Amino acid sequence: MRLNDKIGNRYYLIIISFLILINLINYSNIKSFEFLRMNDFFSGAFIGILIPLAFVGMLNYIKTK
């Protein structure tokens, strides 16, 4: 069973969007987000999760389209 079928397309998009938002905040140089920044380990872990999830989502979208 695919990940999209298990959690649903809507929640899959929310998870991907949340991970992208975390990474954008983490790598931005905006001073108001300074208290939200993570160390490099957690930031790398989120990117490591985000890239495969986004790739699988794109493949699923291409197959269903």
Q: Which pTM value belongs to this model?
A: 0.53
State the average pLDDT for the chain.
Answer: 74
Spatial contact of 46 and 22, defined as CB atoms under 8 Å apart: yes
Closest CA to 18 of 49, 41, 39, 44: 49
Residue 3: per-residue pLDDT:
60
pLDDT class of 4 with cuts at 50, 70, 90:
low
pLDDT in tens, 30-52: 777 777 677 767 777 777 887 78
Question: What is the rounded average pLDDT of the residues 14-33?
Answer: 78
CA separation for the pair 64, 60 (Å, rounded): 6
Question: What are the sequence ranges of the domains in the chain?
Answer: 3-64
